[in-house]
Amino acid sequence: MTSYRVISSDSHVFEPSDLWTTRIDLPFRHRAPRVISDGVYDQWIVEGDKKVGSIGLVSQAGTRFEAPEHITFGGRIQDVRPGGYDPQEHVKDMDLDGVFGGVLYPSNGLFFFRIPDSSLLSAIFRAYNDWLAEFCRAYPTRLKGIAMVNIDDVTDGIGELERAASLGMAGAMIAVYPLPEKPYSLAHYEPFWAAAQDLDMPISLHTATHRPGPGLPTLDNTSQTATQRANIDYWVRCSLSDMIYAGVLERYPRLKVVAVEFELAWIPYFLRQLDYVYIERQQQATYRFKDQMLPSDFFHRNVYVSFQEDDLGIQLRHRIGVDQLMWGSDYPHAESTWPKSQLILERILADVPEAEQAKIAGENVAQLYHFI
């Protein structure tokens, strides 16, 4: 066991099958996400008959260590670990894993960002946020919830961000890539960035949370190709570039942005390219920063990165920023480090000084999300 407190910056709940059919606003209930069975596997559907996401990959914690050949998109609700939907069982599983606390994201809800109807999406998010706030209240010092917020309509998004803060949520997640005609470089997002800064709500860009559009994954995530999976950091790089080059992080110096579940090793080259374009392609990078700041400076000041077991990225940690790195277990998903998180941390941090280990494995996330 490590000598320091381990906190997961990226853990997940597994939404109960009746969450939306019992909690969503009545006008949306007949279109709400629900679970059906095809006789072999269970499947989330929305809008009555549209498949959305899958159950297997977001519910098979530990399978990779026991029988990786059994990892599958298909799954059944009855096989999900109770810790996914029961806070007492969730904390028991953290204790088994030697983990003190967790920052909680959705599982199936990740894929719901692809639902085209914006009003339905916002209703789905409101119901989820109410449920997650209740989940975290069972262990408020150990469980920190991240609200889902739709900012297709910025005013509505600000209202839900404020409501999430009042519910005790620790941060909010928005689409890793927005509607293609509404990139995060646009000025109409300014009130949202300002609100997030004023509320001290870190904003997460989590993998698999695209809004729909040409070239983007569809509702049924089994349509994702191996090539798309291998280049999973592409969309977060686009969104971070849009924000940085538009001066968002200069205008909102206390805004914190978190890139979640993209690993690390891509970042040093990405930062080099950000600065190169800013310096040598000024007809493209037209916004100019004050005080000789470079794009990479804003990344180091405002952006945090959550990863699982990127040992190559750990070797490059000083080029990324040790104070920005936050380990996460991804419990209870198939790629999770549970129940061997302690062994994996020991391996990937073996050559790292203990003070840096403590930051990466827990202190940085504790500071960002106010774990006591």
Alpha helix ranges (H) inside the chain: 19-23, 63-66, 87-97, 109-112, 118-137, 154-166, 190-199, 226-230, 234-245, 248-251, 267-280, 295-302, 311-315, 317-320, 341-348, 354-358, 364-369
pLDDT of residue 180: 94
In the block, tokens 């983007």 appear at 216
In the block, tokens 């009555």 appear at 48
pTM of the model: 0.96
Angle between helices 118-137 and 154-166 (to 10 degrees): 10
pLDDT tens digits along 117-152: 999 999 999 999 999 999 999 999 999 999 999 999
**Residue 220 pLDDT greater than 60, yes or no:** yes
**Residue 222 pLDDT greater than 60, yes or no:** no
Distance (Å, rounded) from C-alpha 298 to C-alpha 364? 18
Distance (Å, rounded) from C-alpha 268 to C-alpha 272? 6
Give residue 73's pLDDT band: very low, low, confident or very high (50, 70, 90). Answer: confident
CA angle 368, 370, 372 (to 5 degrees): 135
pLDDT tens digits along 168-219: 999 999 999 999 999 999 999 999 999 999 999 999 999 999 999 887 777 7
Domain boundaries, given as residue ranges, for the chain? 7-13+88-369
Q: Is residue 211 a contact partner of residue 177, using CB atoms and an 8 Å limit?
A: yes
- State the distance between the two ends of the chain, measured CA to CA, in whole angstroms: 21
Q: Which fold has domain 7-13+88-369?
A: TIM Barrel (3.20.20)
DSSP class of 211:
P
